[in-house]
Amino acid sequence: MSEAVRFDRVSKSFGTLALDDVSLTVESGEVVVLLGRSGSGKSTLLRHVDGLQRPTSGTVTVLGTDVGRAGGGELRRLRRRIGFVFQQFHLIGSLTVLENVCSGALGRLRGPRLGLLSYPKRLRHEALDELDRVGLADRALQRADTLSGGQQQRVAVARALLQRPEILLADEPVASLDPESSAQVMRLIREISAERRLTVLCSLHQLDLALSWGDRIVGLRAGRTVLDAPAAGLDRERAMELYAGVAAEPAAVG
């Protein structure tokens, strides 16, 4: 197996420590799910992978690039190899689904594009293939804002795939979806990772989804990795300890 991501004693301070001495190696093709309470450092960890943030100390190495030391050009080249899926899908609602997917290839093209026909035919075909992969080829010419949330997130996955990424970062990709759509999106990401040997780092708040679709669970608490274990066979109670100490909702009075 080759190594896709390595964190070597990484700390990140914003005044408070968001990451505290994190060491982690992710192999190519692994699906790693990050779990932890709000504010435990999941998004900060993801942002170090594509160099949106740089470590205060320690080393982050991604696809052979030392992210903390990389110059602007090197970072841009690295980012082309990394796809990102967000909680908010960030589609352009007034454009067709297909054009939204095509925009995933902008990093591979020269110059801006306006309108579906401004993309090379070969690329439109590639985009349609990716839409087919996420089960939405029949929606290609529909406006993106006419799709359900789950469908829009699948379009966002297709758009990220058109970038031909080696790593996919997903920051709470199902946080705004219903349980069925959430499972559908996670299953898709998992299957595509297996088909293409795509490395996935995904933050989630849903323990059951993490256990179902992750290869490996990394648990963070106050910026430290307190759990790093294969998802298969991981005791649910043990994973729940990540959330221990969260104040219960006050009981309704009346």
**Residue 40 lies near ligand ATP (rule: CB under 6 A):** yes
41: contact with ligand ATP by CB under 6 A: yes
Stretch that binds ligand ATP, among 38-46, 78-86, 124-132, 207-215 (CB under 6 A): 38-46
Q: Please report, as a single letter, which amino acid is at residue 139.
A: R
Taking each helix axis from N to C end, the angle separating 179-196 and 149-162, rounded to the nearest 10 degrees, works out to 20
Asked if 50 and 169 touch (Cβ cutoff 8 Å), the reply is yes
Is 44 a binding residue for ligand ATP by CB under 6 A? The answer is: yes
Q: What's the one-letter identity of residue 243?
A: Y
Type of residue numbered 152: Q
Is the CB of 24 or the CB of 161 nearer to ligand ATP? Answer: 24
43 binds ligand ATP (CB under 6 A): yes
Q: How far is the CB of 51 from ligand ATP (least distance, A)?
A: 14
Q: Which of 42, 124, 159, 221 binds ligand ATP (CB under 6 A)?
A: 42
136 vs 210 by CB, closer to ligand ATP: 210
SS (H, E, C) the chain: CCEEEEEEEEEEECCCEEEEEEEEEEECCCEEEEECCCCCCHHHHHHHHCCCCCCCEEEEEECCEECCCCCHHHHHHHHHCEEEECCCCCCCCCCEHHHHHHHHHHHHCCCCCCCHHHCCHHHHHHHHHHHHHCCCHHHCCCEHHHCCHHHHHHHHHHHHHHCCCCEEEEECCCCCCCHHHHHHHHHHHHHHHHHHCCEEEEECCCHHHHHHHCCEEEEEECCEEEEEEECCCCCHHHHHHHHCCCCCCCCCCC
From 39-47, 60-68, 123-131, 155-163, span contacting ligand ATP (CB under 6 A):
39-47
CB of 40 to ligand ATP, least distance (A): 4
The reply to whether 36 sits near ligand ATP by the rule CB under 6 A is yes
Query: What track of x and - describes contact with ligand ATP for positions 8 through 27 (by CB under 6 A)?
Result: ------x-x-x---------
Q: Is 219 in the site for ligand ATP (CB under 6 A)?
A: no
Q: If binding means CB under 6 A, how many residues of this protein chain bind ligand ATP?
A: 11
Q: Does 226 bind ligand ATP (CB under 6 A)?
A: no
88 binds ligand ATP (CB under 6 A): no
Shortest Cβ distance from residue 105 to ligand ATP (Å)?
29
For ligand ATP, the closer CB: 34 or 62: 34
Distance separating alpha carbons of residues 198 and 196, to the nearest angstrom: 5
Binding status of residue 115 toward ligand ATP by CB under 6 A: no
Residue closer to ligand ATP, measured from CB, 14 or 148? 14
Tokens in use for 181? 């759509």
Q: Catalog residues that contact ligand ATP under the rule CB under 6 A.
A: 14, 16, 18, 36, 38-44
